[in-house]
Amino acid sequence: MEPETNRDLRLLLAAIDAAPPVDAADVFADELAKAIGATEVAFLIADFSGGALVRLAHAGNGSVTRVRGHETAQRVPLAGSGHERALRLQRVVLADDPAQVRLFAPVTNRGEAIGILELLLPEPPDERVVDYVASVAKAFALVVIANRRHTDLFAWGQRSVPLSLAAEIQHRLLPGSFTCQAGQFTLAGWVEPAGEIGGDTFDYSLDRDLLHLSMTDAMGHSVAAAVLATLLVGSLRNTRRRGLALAEQARAANEALLAHAGEAQFVTGQLARVDLLTGAAQIVNAGHPPPWRLRAGRVAPVDLHADPPFGLLADTEYAVQKLPLQPGDRLVFVTDGVLDRNAADAAAILASTADQHPRDMVQQLTQAVLRATGGQLRDDATVLCFDWYGGPPRDRTPRTPDSWAPRAGT
């Protein structure tokens, strides 16, 4: 059955809009199945682990791993699957299975891998059906983003392992999307938590002419570190949203910790800002390990002066330093959990993953740290990868591994 593209998409979105937020995925699946004659349509949401998807449903079978009221969740490993290929390639993929026709469509928004639509069809699809599925999968990403504000269903689905109180607080401090693709840059971050949460965070915000980046590492572990991180991130977001300059943001964060944190509690961190009109970048370094820069195939730490951590000394004046950027640069911000003496050689991994999308690169690096430490992290391992293409502000162009060339500068 060939869909009447515009009409079907309007009906699809109208049906979802009329449904309760908790039913959005089910209504979408039902309406999409009707539009193209699919036998089955399922939504699999990305697991917090980064290495699996979770199939959300109502009625389970022997493979269902979790139940919450009427909801069920089945964990589906990504490695080597059609789901993984669809997410990595950012396009619809047909399963290599002669017994059935199964499509995997990535549900993504600005590079964020939200999940996968899995469709079982009675016959091989033509190009028009494939294009239609790709379009509705992109539309469904916006449906998920809008409806997860109103229900815990999607957040519950992503948790194949229950979160501790400290981890719950830490997740609330992270940006709503871990990936952002734009015309001049792409960025992606990841936090791999230790057994006792260490208070790591990263953040970003895109204005019309400015990109704001930050990475912080609160001292200590568990709830105490998460509360300390809450103070700092709250201060940074407050001053950023008030339009204060980097030095003022840093000063206010230092004063907030001195006023409200316990004695000798502190947070290391970096605040960066990129002027999208000129390409000029600035950074404040509060006692944090320097970022790494990959330029023309060479990996080296960025030479930065280190001021005291936030919350350590009163009346600290934080230096705003130049952060030289050239088109094709990749900057990688890390916390000390990545640089643990038992961890993998970060510089070698950055060089070997030079052509990977930042979303894949941060996963590769944190997985390497896990392998090197035997899965026993002593501190959170957090990575923020920033690829700079340069040029004037412009619309983004979706990229795939075949066309992905962040070093080329455009």
Mind listing the pLDDT tens digit for each residue in 22-41? 999 899 899 899 889 999 99
pLDDT attached to residue 84:
93
Helix (H, G, I), strand (E, B) or coil at 270: strand
Using the predicted structure, report yes or no on whether residue 69 has a pLDDT greater than 90. no
CA distance 50 to 38: 28
Whether the per-residue pLDDT at 400 is higher than 60: the answer is no
Average of per-residue pLDDT across 5-16: 74
| Mean pLDDT on 121-141 | 93
E strands, 172-326, where?
Answer: 179-181, 185-192, 200-206, 210-218, 267-275, 281-286, 292-295, 298-301, 321-322
* pTM for the structure as a whole: 0.89
All structural domains of the chain = 5-157 (3.30.450.40), 165-408 (3.60.40.10)
**Residue 151 pLDDT greater than 90, yes or no:** yes
Residue 402 burial by Cβ neighbours in a 10 Å radius (0-12, 13-18, 19+) = exposed
- Per-residue model confidence (pLDDT) at position 202: 98
**Whether the Cβ atoms of residue 228 and residue 268 lie closer than 8 Å to each other:** no
Q: What is the mean pLDDT of residues 105-133?
A: 94
Task: Inform me whether the pLDDT recorded for 405 exceeds 50.
Answer: no
Across 208-363, where does the E strand assignment appear? 210-218, 267-275, 281-286, 292-295, 298-301, 321-322, 330-334
